[in-house]
Structures are given as structure tokens and as C-alpha cells.
Structure 1
């Protein structure tokens, strides 16, 4: 059956498992909207393309399925480039399909015209390609979906010329049944197993690459059998069960973590970039041999030099290691690990005073399976240091790109993907205002979504940075609205708890509400 290509693309996506698209229609991409309802896809109307991109990101992180967004030529694509950059740095499968002008070389002054739209998008995603024919559009979509399943997941951009989107086209070919069967080199795994068995104080680091599939289960089996000590990156929190006695937590960035690494006689890093945002220093601090296991070859040749590099699927390597026999003797002592964590917790409380007790109260009020989306705010920075996750893939944060405005729209996407499962957002007063308009989407959809808004009246992290650099604090205080009234103006509920108990009661009520609830928290909640 022939349909305009824009409609055929929606039908193709539906056939390939896409049930939700985030975006905003415009005069240039209306043909993309012709077939959405007919195909049986739910469209979520964002208030800004940045919000649409963060929603697609949050949906993808929560479900493991690609987040798909439709945007217009020029400014629409520019607006979603920040979420694309965030998805790139955090390995999130996002597919952005935009319209583009039919001719830009000879004809100037057109609506939404850019010098090179495709190239601009390419700076923040895996690849950005223009489809010149219907066949090319179908092939590119399938290429993106296959790569999401078989490679390191990163955003892709496909642009479709306006005239082509409205031109009649045959339907796409049938679904490609992709079976990803990762293989491992038995010899390399045996060598790694021998190194672990020979080590007296092996130390493992588990990154975000271990948060998918069965990797966490295999990681915990391996730890139990070899009694290695372990760190996780922030993105890897929950990979190691929180009651494992030799878990140092997500404290790679602590200055004295170098002393822990200096004690190890073997370090093994599974699925972590060991990037600046993971460790906040140049080197981990180890002097012993180091082994790295990663799906991305680029990570195996960076400045964190290793003695053995294993290129492969982390889950498959962990599974193979778990099948090896280890003598469960370790030079690490659980009491020493616990004491170190106690010291680090006190440091976190000292660095950002008054936040840890509020974090503890919030954690106690939430179901263990709650999925959390946080923004760039001191409340989240503190929580990530002291709040252990019971399972992987429950806390999502703009780790690498570090953009403000992420939490609420991403939580909306996550809530849409997870349905009745509990989801919350944690934002700061400044970052919340980047995407505050998306509160209307949560109201419109009736999402039970608690939004914890931490307001310390300033850009406190930046103020602290200026003070530490002996710079007189400047431009760190802005006029804030009455956030509770603002939320109510959108039709949301609001609460301003004056005690930790009241905070817990507000969170419990918000999880049961028929719409979003903004929970306004200030430092004076402690009295």
C-alpha cells in the first residue's frame, strides 16, 4: 500500500516495536505526523524540543528501548541537540528524525534554514545522515535499530527532505530479526581468571556498561566466589548488591580512594570509561597491573593504561568468569571497608552540610524499586555518594554532558515507559527552570510523579567553586518564583514540607496522586 513517506516511516517504526514518539509538529514535518495515529503510536507533545529529547532519553534509559523524537528543520533540531549530546555521553539509544530543506545550495533565506544542519547534528551524535530516497530512509532506520542492539548505544539522526516526506512511497520491507550473540575469547577469559585467582587483594570497578541485561547477576556471582573488593561508577550504582561487605560504593572520586587502589595487587575495570566525571582526577592511583573489559575499543587505549585489554561484551565476559573456580580468600577486610565508607560519608556531609539527613529521609520514604531522575544539583551530588541502589538502572543522571534541565522531562519519559512503577525527579531551583514548561505535559498525561525541588536560593555549587578559587561570588543568585504557585498554575499539586516527617508524607502522597506533585524543599526543613 502506497502512503506518503512520512506516514510510512511511522508504520515502519510501529512494526519494529516503537510505541511512543516524543516531539513537536511544525510546518516542515507535518507529513511525519500523518501516520502516527493510524500506525497506533502514542505521540507525546513536548513544550520544547529540548524537553522532547530528554523525554526520549528518559524513556530509553527506563525501558531499554530506543527513545524516538520527531523535530522540525533548523531550530527544532538545534533545540534537541543538547539532549542528543547528553544521550551520546551516557550511551543512550535515541533516534531523532527531522525534516530538512530540499535545496540549500542555491536558494537562501528559507524558513528554518541553516548552513549545514546535518553536520551540526553530527557533532553530538553517533552519525547524522540525510535520506535521499524512501529506500534510504528505511535502510537508515533499520541500521540505527540494529546498531542499538549490537553496539554501544548512542543517538542517531536521520533527516528527511520536506518534499520526500510527502511523496508517495511503498511500505518498508519486513522486520529484521536481530539476534545478538556476543562471543568471548576463552583464552583471554582464562588468563584473566588466572590473574584474579593469583591476586591477594583484587579490586574491581563496575561501570555503566554493567547495568544492562544479566551483567549485574554475573558480577555478584564473581565477587562472591573470588572475594574481591569493588567500586562502582555513578552510572554503575546497583550493579553490586548494597550489602556486599567489600563494596566501597560509588566513591571513585574521593581523594583518599587513591589509597585504596594503592593497596590492590590487581585492578579489573568492567564497562567503565574512567572518565573525568567518574574519578575527578587524572589517575585512579593503582600501581599494580590493570585489566580492562569494554565493548568500545576507544576506551581500551585511553590515558588509564592497562596491561590487558579485553574487547567484548561485559556481560558475556562476566558470565564466563563466573564459571571459573576461585579460592575465596581475600586480603580485604570488611571492617576496614566499612570504616572507609563511614569516613567518606562524613566527608560528603561536611562538603555540602545539611543535605545527607534529607537524602536519608527521602530514601526511607521511597519504595526500593523507585526509578530516579536527577539534575545537576547539590542534592543529587550528595545523594549519589551516600545512597546505594538495590539494583542497576534505577538512578539516571546527566553524567557526562552535564546539562541542566534534565530531571523532570527525563522522568516524564521514564514514567511513560514504566507505567505504574514509581518514578521521581530531583531538580535544583535553577536547573528546574530550564524545562519547567514540561510540567504541563505531566499534568496533561496525569502522571503520578513526585518532583523534589531543592531550593537553596542560589547556584551554590558554583558559589563554592568561586570561593575555593578565591573569586568573589558573582552571578550566583537569581530571582526565583513562588514554585508552589507556579506548579499549581499548571494544574499540578504542590507541597512545602517543614520537617523530614512531612517530606516523607508528601512523597508517599505524591506517589498515589493522579498527577504530578512539586515538593518544594529548602535547607530550613531541618529546623
Structure 2
């Protein structure tokens, strides 16, 4: 007999799923029955939140949805934070959970894992949450999920199956197959023509590239060069123009120099960006004022109506809209675009305080030592530096949890997922406070024999929050936490571990780590690294909330 659990795995394989993250439980084992012969790999985290972060990192690095098998009740509540982070950053994630059978589902009788309404919980951080009540609706609901991932604003989807349905007979169902997904939306020709007219009339255009443009690097570059337009990239848009491109501004649009670039432009083209405050108003000073015309390119019509009102909206996949615009405008000779971009870049770099300058230096050493590296950040000082000023070599190679939902503990499992998905050199950049949220996931990476590199930025506590409390006149409390011996713990997990004594050791440590079949933890003492990189103190920027 083919069970519904077996049929589910066949459906996932038909849609090209090659990896599943999950912790088997009594309520999900029927999902696992078909995995060994499916060609789908399974990775076991040490906590359901870790599974969600791994799926998130896998999805961001590969562009494919991350898939999780999760038990009912505490499984869903544990993964909820990871799903919310993915929801905030528009990351495709498919979370499949079990749920109590009808009659026990939400009965209030106290059955194991019972919640009043598990599906309604899932609705808070998903594109949709659906309870499968009949075996013959499973294929349709899975098709809906992959339609969201392929053709709409990608966000998590939650599908739950009652435990008794997982063992039901699915032999009579049609063979599992991938249904054709809808095409990505393209902008209407008249809207493209109107936007092209605005482009032609502009003398000082710029482009804002968000995460929605991550797969639009080729048309983005073509349009930017045709218009001689600097391109400011949000964190999730970094690498759309590669490091070193004269029109690239791989810097936070919240900085004074990038705000000036935006405010002096007579045309702003915003592609795949929601104008979120964590990107555009990091220091809560009001953000840049757009005085010129604004073209918004967004796959989500509702999102295009939020925030900054557009003079022309293109409801479209970013790549399709940029291709259409690039084809509709005549290339102009180079003007002052490169000079404007350079002025913004240098202005941002000059504004960095010593700790942020050290963080930017650290990220650039990693990038230049490990070609093709994926850097995954948590919420820590060097990560903030990367959010402000870091030039990625290509899209999907730098992301973090410091924007959007803003959770801690993200980077270690997310970097694990990114490495599983890409097999490219992968670095986790995390603080000593954040890593204690998900430290057991070192065991997951060791079990998978992954050459993951963990750069552990240690300031012995929640240093940024302590500084912020002091600037607000609040006596620090709860921030001077006990800091364990991370090197001993790492070795206990079977990992290599080193405390960096000299910043010049870093390239050799990074290169050696790639040759191992286990994670390498490199502890960096914050004060030592800052002292080594900075020659003199400079005025500090306002504190960034951790």
C-alpha cells in the first residue's frame, strides 16, 4: 500500500526538492518512510528552530525553497521564529507538520501536542497555512505552495497533515507529478513605456536594488550602465552589481552619504525593495527624502502601494521589468554616475567608527581569501558593519538576520543550510551572545562533515546592548552574561577550534579550514581586533540595536 506519507515524498521529489531538514518524531515518522529511496537528502538539526534557519540559509543561497518536516505542537512553536525571519525577508520555505487527528484537533481535552488552533498559528508568518483533511487534496495544496515560490512574493508556506491521514491509503491517487507553475508576472507594455520615458528624461538617475532583484543581476547591470545610474544595494540585494563595479554602491541606504545620493537624484528606480526601515532608516532619523520621480518594481501589487508612493509602478518580476526597461531606453554616454557612486562609497567608509571599520575589514579579508564565499551573519558588530558597507562578489553570497525580523542565533544553522545547498566556501559570522542561542547546531554540522567556518566575535556579553543602555542613562543589567570556553565546547563537538592571536593569521586559518571534514571555530577577541585594525579613535556612530 502506498500511504499518504509516501505520496508526500514523491510529490516533493517531483518538484525537484533535494534536501529536507527535520527531527523525526512519533508524529512524523510516516513522512520519513519514503525518504531513503527518494533521492532526497535529510539533515537533522538539534532543534526545530535550527531546522528553520537551515532551510532559510539553504533557500537564500540557492534560490530554491527550503523544506522542513516538523512535529505537531512544540515543533511548530519552536520553528516559528525561523519562519517569521523568513517571512520578513521574503524567503521561500515549505514547513510540513503533523497535527492531531480530527476529534482531537483543538478539542481542549489535553491531547499530546494539542494547540487550540495550530493552523491559525502558522498563518501569522506564512503566505498561507493549510490543513489537509483528504488525501486527494494534497497534490493541489503542494502545487499552490510551489506556485507561491515560483511566481509570487516568496514567503513560507505551512502544510499540516493529521497523524492518522499520513498512514491512509493513497494507492488510488494519480501518480505524483509536478504541475506547471504560473509564469512570473511581467509589467504591462504601457507601464514600461511610461517608465522608460521617465528614464529618458532623467539627468541624475539612481537605482535601489533589494532582495527581490537578487536574480536580476544581468538586466540590472545593463540598465544601470545604459542610464549611467549608481546602484545602491540593500543587504539582500548585495552583489547585484559585483564588487568593484564603478556604479555599484554596496552600502546601507540609511547612511548620510547614500541618503544624499538618493535625495539629489531626479529619478529613483526601486527594484524588489519594500523600503523597510531596517534597510532605509537604520538609525531612525527619518530616512532619505525622494525629491525626484519614483519608479517602483515589485512582484507584490499590495506592497507597491505601501510606503513611498510611486510615480510609476511596475507590478512584475524584477528581472522581467528590468529587461523590458533596458530594452526600451537608449544607452547614454558615461557621465557623472561613477563619480556620484564613488562619492557615496567613500562617504560611507569615512563615517565608520573604529569597531565598524574593523568589522568591514574582517569581512573583506574573508571575501578576498575565499573566492566565491557565502557569508552568513547574525546580529553582531561585524555584521552591522557588513550591513553598512560590504561589497559582495555576486548575489546570494551575503545575508544576515540583522535586518527584517532581527533574530539572534540565526547565523550558525543558516550557514549550515547555505553550505549544504551550495557546497561553496561558507562562513558564519556570529557573536558570543548570539551563538549561545543555537550552539548545539555545531553538532549538526559536524555530523554532516561540513567544512563550515565559524568566526566567533567575542566581547564577553551583549556588548552592543550594554553600550546602548549606558548611552540612555540606564544602569546595565542582564548584559554581562557568563561566557563559556567556546574552544573547549567546540572541540567537544568534534570541531577544530582556534583563538586568533594576530589578525594576519586569518587568511591561513581560513584556507586550512576548507580542507577539513568538520567545522572550524575561529574565536576573535573584539578588543584585540579593533586595536590591530584602527590606528586612532574617531567619533562613534549612533548605537545599532542588537
Which bin holds the TM-score, normalised by the shorter protein? Answer: over 0.9
Q: In structure 1, how many angstroms separate the alpha carbons of the residues matched to 2:478 and 2:160? A: 39
Q: Do 2:23 and 2:48's aligned partners in 1 also have CA atoms closer than 8 Å?
A: yes
Deviation at 1:197, TM superposition (A): 1.2
2:373 to 370, 374, 387: 370
The one of 287, 293, 299 aligned to 2:291: 287
Query: CA separation in 1, counterparts of 2:460 and 2:108?
Result: 49
- 1:329 CA displacement: 4.8
- Root mean square deviation, CA, Å: 1.9
Give the equivalent residue in structure 2 for 1:166. Answer: 167
- Hey, what's the Cα distance between the residues in 2 that align with 1:327 and 1:17? 40
Q: Which residue of 1 aligns with 2:349?
A: 345
Q: CA deviation at 1:19?
A: 1.7
Q: Aligned residue for 2:12?
A: 13
In structure 2, distance between residues paired with 1:417 and 1:47:
19
Change in CA separation of 1:13 and 1:145 when aligned onto 2, cut-off 3 Å: same
Which secondary structure state, in structure 2, belongs to the residue aligned with residue 168 of structure 1? coil
Cα 1:453–1:165 shift into 2, 3 Å: same
Tell me if the contact between 1:24 and 1:46 (Cα under 8 Å) persists in the aligned partners: yes
Aligned counterpart in structure 2 of residue 324 of structure 1, from 319, 322, 328: 328
Tell me the equivalent position of 2:32: 33
1:51-450, aligned counterparts within 5 Å? 51-102=50-101, 103-106=104-107, 108-170=109-171, 171-173=173-175, 174-178=177-181, 180=183, 182-212=185-215, 215-280=216-281, 281=284, 282-329=286-333, 332=336, 334-350=338-354, 352=356, 354-367=358-371, 369-398=372-401, 399-419=403-423, 421-450=424-453
Aligned-partner Cα distance in 2 for 1:83–1:105? 24
Does the 8 Å CA contact 2:99/2:105 hold for their aligned counterparts? no
Q: Is the 8 A contact 2:234 2:279 kept in 1?
A: yes
Contact 1:197 1:327 in 2 (8 A): no
Give the 3 Å change call, closer, same or farther, for CA 356–243 of structure 1 in structure 2: closer
Q: 1:453 aligns with which of 456, 468, 486?
A: 456
CA contact (8 A) 1:349 1:355 kept: no
Deviation at 1:331, TM superposition (A): 6.1
Superposed displacement of residue 338, structure 1: 2.2
SS in 2 for 1:267: strand
The count of residues paired between Structure 1 and Structure 2 equals 522
Unaligned runs of 5+ in 2: 533-546
- SS of the residue corresponding to residue 433 of structure 2 reads helix
Residues of 2 paired with 1:218 and 1:190: CA distance? 17
What is the rounded CA distance, in whole Å, between the counterparts of 2:329 and 2:344 in structure 1?
30
Q: Runs of 5+ in structure 1 lacking a partner?
A: none
Name the residue aligned to 1:499: 502
Of the structure 1 ranges 98-107 and 440-449, higher mean CA displacement relative to structure 2 is found in 98-107
Asked whether the equivalents of residues 201 and 265 of structure 1 are also in contact (C-alpha less than 8 Å), the reply is yes
Decide whether aligned partners of structure 1 residues 475 and 265 sit closer, same or farther in structure 2, where only a CA change above 3 A counts: same
Residue 122 to residue 206, structure 1, CA distance change in 2 (3 Å):
same
CA contact (8 A) 2:376 2:428 kept: yes
- Residue range with higher mean Cα deviation, 482-491 or 327-336: 327-336
Q: Deviations over 1:174-221 (max 9, x none)?
A: 321336254332221122111111111112111111102xx1111111
Q: Larger deviation: 76-85 or 318-327?
A: 318-327
Deviates more, 1:194-203 or 1:456-465: 456-465
SS at the partner of 1:498? coil
Instruction: Check whether the contact 1:283–1:304 (CA below 8 A) recurs between aligned residues.
Output: no
Deviation at 1:356, TM superposition (A): 3.6
Note if contact 1:201-1:331 (Cα within 8 Å) is conserved in structure 2: no
For residue 360 of structure 1, report the CA deviation from its aligned partner: 3.5
Deviations 1:408-442 (A, max 9, x none): 111111111113x2111111111111111111111
Q: TM-score, normalised by structure 1?
A: 0.95
Q: Deviations over 1:22-56 (max 9, x none)?
A: 10111212211222113232211111000111111
Q: Provide closer, same or farther for how the CA distance between residues 486 and 106 of structure 1 changes in structure 2, counting only shifts above 3 A.
A: closer
- Structure 1 21/519 Cα, relative in aligned 2: closer, same or farther at 3 Å? same
CA distance in 2, matches of 1:490, 1:330: 55
Q: How has the CA–CA distance of structure 1 residues 469 and 326 changed in structure 2, closer, same or farther, with 3 Å as cutoff?
A: farther
1:16–1:229 distance in 2 versus 1, CA, 3 Å: closer
C-alpha distance in 2, partners of 1:255/1:460? Answer: 25
Displacement of 1:256? 4.3
2: distance between equivalents of 1:356 and 1:424? 15
8 Å Cα contact 1:229/1:332 also seen in 2: no
Q: d(CA) in 2 for partners of 1:182 and 1:401?
A: 27
Instruction: Work out whether residues 235 and 399 of structure 2, in 8 Å CA contact, stay in contact via their aligned partners in 1.
Output: no
Change in CA separation of 1:303 and 1:356 when aligned onto 2, cut-off 3 Å: closer
Post-superposition Cα deviations, 1:286-343, rounded to whole Å, max 9, x if no partner, equal: 2122111111112211121222212111111111111134352566353454243223
Whether the 8 Å contact between 2:72 and 2:98 is mirrored in structure 1 is yes
